[in-house]
């Protein structure tokens, strides 16, 4: 089930709850339940099409952008050039460990908050909005040595 909170939030900020958006949310939710591997737009489209065959890729992109703007979704940009998305779980914050071989993503709970705080204090004219921290390497299956 889609978290009721999210639906309430969308309603509150005046984002219409179309069936397409509900399906996309559903797909993201299922993904989060099934291990939290981030998805790209293409993948979201494929999954949504199983239940809603007419959805366009453009709608998926627009919706993901809207959800990102509303803080419901995180838009991730790794080195592999395609954006991936993950549902934001309430009050949770994490970073990623990405395998350069297979692309598998693991969450890491640590966050360099101390550095962000220091940067905020030393660059007072810069208004910090967000940050990304990603560690790349090779997982057990992909490493060669």
Partner DNA sequence: CAATGAAATAGGAATAATTCCTAATTAGGA
Partner DNA sequence: TCCTAATTAGGAATTATTCCTATTTCATTG
Query: Is residue 132 involved in binding DNA (CB under 7 A)?
Result: no
Q: What are the phi and psi torsion angles at 47 (to 5°)?
A: -70, -40
In the complex, the smallest distance separating the C-beta of residue 127 from a second copy, rounded to whole angstroms, is 5
Query: Is residue 52 involved in binding a second copy (CB under 8 A)?
Result: no
Locate tokens 């939030």: which residue? 9
Query: Which lies closer to DNA via its Cβ, residue 2 or residue 119?
Result: 2
Judged by CB under 8 A, the residue of 16, 86, 116, 121 near a second copy is 116
Judged by CB under 8 A, the residue of 1, 14, 81, 90 near a second copy is 81
Whole-Å CA distances, 125 to 112, 114, 120, 121, 128:
21, 18, 9, 9, 9
Query: Is residue 58 involved in binding a second copy (CB under 8 A)?
Result: no
Beta bridge partners of 98: 105, 136
Query: Is residue 65 involved in binding a second copy (CB under 8 A)?
Result: no
Terminal-to-terminal C-alpha distance of the chain: 43
Of these partners, a second copy, DNA, none, which one is at the site of residue 138 (CB under 5 to 8 Å by kind)? a second copy
Query: Which lies closer to DNA via its Cβ, residue 81 or residue 122?
Result: 81
> How does DSSP classify residue 7?
H
d(CA 96, CA 59): 27
Using CB under 7 A as the criterion, which residues of the chain lie in contact with DNA when the complex forms?
11, 15-21, 40-42, 52, 54-59, 61-63, 65-66, 81-83
């Amino acid at each position: 089930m889609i978290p009721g909170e999210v639906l309430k939030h969308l309603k509150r900020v005046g984002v219409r709850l179309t069936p397409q958006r509900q399906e996309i949310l559903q797909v993201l939710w299922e993904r989060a339940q099934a291990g939290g591997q981030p998805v790209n737009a293409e993948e979201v489209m494929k999954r949504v099409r199983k239940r809603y065959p007419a959805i366009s890729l453009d709608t998926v992109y627009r919706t993901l952008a809207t959800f990102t703007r509303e803080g419901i979704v995180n838009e991730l940009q790794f080195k592999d050039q395609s954006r991936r998305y993950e549902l934001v779980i309430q009050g949770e914050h994490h970073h990623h460990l990405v395998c350069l071989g297979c692309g598998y993503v693991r969450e890491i709970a640590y966050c360099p908050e101390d550095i962000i705080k220091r940067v905020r204090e030393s660059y007072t004219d810069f208004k910090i909005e967000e940050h990304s921290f990603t560690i790349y390497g090779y997982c057990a299956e992909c490493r060669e040595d």
